[in-house]
Structure 1
Amino acid sequence: MHFRKATENDIPSIVTLLADDELGSTRESIEDCVVNDYVEAFAEMEAQSGNQLILAIDDQSVVGCLQLTLIPGLARRGMKRAQIEGVRVDRRYRSQGVGQALFEHAISIAKDEGAGLVQLTTDKQRADAHRFYERLGFTASHEGMKLLF
């Protein structure tokens, strides 16, 4: 297994991972009518400094992904933060260390870029994910809130 930044050609594989669970299946679609939405979003991410999709690759197949965004700010004496979103591992590869290795890779990038902390949000319904993040050392120190439009 190795890691690399996603390219536009990876979008179908990434969206398939994002849609492959109970929550994601209601949020994502790989139908032709919405593919352009993903292509446009990917182009925006590529244009934004410090924003990337990282893929876990096994035998030429995308088996995991996450989005890593570096966020400069003034709080905490100007500390840069790293935000992780959109974490998925192919169900056939779960419990095999793929997620942990993907996180370790992303955290290493964040440290190399000068981030002082890594943060993430996770849906309250994802109990398995919560246990996984806690095993990695993350703590539920804040309550997250969202406003959907």
Structure 2
Amino acid sequence: MELHTSEPMPETEFGTANLSDLYDLQKLYAALRPQDPSYREGEADSALSNVLAQEHIKLIVARLDGQVVATCMLALIANFANVGRPIGCIEHVITAEHCRGRGIGRSMLAYALDLAWQHNCCKVILLSGVQRDEAHRLYASVGFDGDRERGFVIKAPE
């Protein structure tokens, strides 16, 4: 069993993804969502290009020694309530297994929240699988309250 420190790694850099991050992102997503279908040749490049082109979507990455080791997506949703302030939605929070417990995920979420507040979001929501207790502790550690509101999900019909 590998031991991790609770201190964030000082050489970790946070920012938004670019096309050269494709391979690292695919590895992270495959680890989180192994049941997802695989992209066919060329589709992943196109999908990532599409996401990166969206002004209201921030695909956030944490880089360690030039490699993407964590990611999450912040979507800024236009809103009529709260005098038009957007709602932030964070999805797909993933940290490479060998980097967990080092503060990288927590620092990345803090970076995402800072971006949301810079965009004047009235709140940030995050959904997580009910069985992911370790992730829930991470989310609570940066201020998310799992008991404040209730989320509901419906999946697309197959």
**Unaligned stretches of 5+ residues in structure 2:** 1-11
- Does 2:33 match 1:34? no
- What SS does the aligned partner of 1:34 have? coil
Instruction: Judge conservation of contact 1:15–1:28 (CA < 8 Å) in 2.
Output: no
Q: Post-superposition shift, 1:129?
A: 1.0
1:43 deviates by: 2.1
Q: Number of aligned residue pairs: give it.
A: 144
Question: Percent identity among equivalent residues?
Answer: 26
Structure 1 length-normalised TM: 0.88
Structure 2 CA distance for partners of 1:64 and 1:53, relative to 1, 3 Å: same
1:10 is aligned to 21
**Structure 1 segments of 4+ aligned residues over 6 angstroms from their partners:** none
Once the two structures are superposed, residues 80-104 of structure 1 have per-residue CA deviations (whole angstroms, 9 ceiling, x without a partner) of 1111111100111101000010011
Q: Please state if 1:144 is matched with 2:152.
A: yes
Distance (whole Å) between structure 2 residues aligned to residue 5 and residue 96 of structure 1:
20
* TM-score in terms of structure 2 length: 0.83
| Paired amino acid for 1:20 | A
Greater relative contact order, per chain length (Cα 8 Å cut-off, separation 6+): 2
Q: Which consecutive unaligned segments of at least 5 residues does structure 1 have? A: none
**For residue 129 of structure 2, what is the aligned residue in structure 1?**
123
